[in-house]
Amino acid sequence: MSYDPTDSQAMMLKGYLTEMPPLTDIFSVKGKVALVTGGTGGLGFCVTKRLLEGGARVMTASYSEREAANTLGILEEIGYGPDRVQFCKVDVTDEESVRQMVDYTDRTFGTIDILVTAAAIWNYAHIYDLPAEEFEKVVNVNLNGTFRTVKHVSKYMKEHGVAGKMTLISSNCAWMPYPTFGGYAHYAASKGGVNALAIEAARELKRFGIKVNAVAPGGMATPGATSNLVLDCLPEEEQDALYDEISTPQLDEIKSVDSVARVVYMMCTDFVDGITGECIVPDNGMTHNIQTYQPEIAQYPED
């Protein structure tokens, strides 16, 4: 058996090599500028740190200045100062605020190559008790806010010839009911909308070289997950009953926030140049009922 470099099959294989940049290059975001909405929350913070670690400069945006102070302080402690990461206060329910965020990012860092939309809110109430204004509030932040951000960032990328990447944070709750007997139809509806928005945005923006995908994790131990409560406008007995349902064990593990942030980071790199319009689900098998153990019937409330 001898190698013949003039063989047609060998020549084709060698041609592949010219199309294969080093793995270290395509898994890096060095020199890129990323905008992360919800960047001071749990997942947004971890995504911001990973993007900084990968070499990007990051504009972390949220509505909370208190969270921003903590985020910037912690990042500076580990070596990422204002030359690498800045904060922009934004209200994603206000289109002018979103437009100003995009302008500020451009003025500060000169471009926007990467967008991650992690801004979201939620609370708990059964659909038959859920006030319409609470449904509209959650959808306005989670879905409409994502739309406003994608709208203005895509316009920026299109006008400046940036073949960028957008990663929209969704949730597997769009098809995985949680808690056991429901409790956040508004959140699930908003995240299902984000999945659909990612597909349509990918379709519209592909001709400009812009890739759009969604990442849909399951439950994580974020500050939001540990602080969001049942709506306090409900009667006390209904609040207590819903808290009992929420506390019913359903998952065999809680994923680390960084395990999801790593997937989000990957979706921001050239490593995934062949993917657009997809929903990536880093829920460790939850969607397919892949669990370490199955909950016992005794764990669930009696009829």
Q: Which residues are annotated as catalytic?
A: 187
Inter-residue contact 281 to 290 (CB < 8 Å): no
Token pair listed for 260? 């999801």
Tell me the torsion sign for CA atoms 22, 45, 260, 195: negative
The DSSP-derived string for 153-177 is HHHHHHHHT---EEEEE--GGGTS-
Instruction: Kindly state the DSSP code that residue 39 receives in the 8-state scheme.
Output: T
255 closest CA partner among 225, 276, 231: 225
CA 53 to chain centroid = 18
C-alpha span between 240 and 180 (Å, rounded): 15
> 130-138: long-range contacts at Cβ-Cβ below 8 A with a sequence spacing of 24 or more?
130/185, 130/186, 130/231, 131/231, 131/233, 134/186, 134/231, 135/185, 135/186, 135/189, 137/186, 138/184, 138/186, 138/187, 138/190
Token pair listed for 20? 């294969």
213 closest CA partner among 120, 117, 98: 117
Strand pairing of 33-37 and 85-89? unpaired
Token pair listed for 30? 């060095």
Cis bond upstream, residue 5 (ω within 30) = no
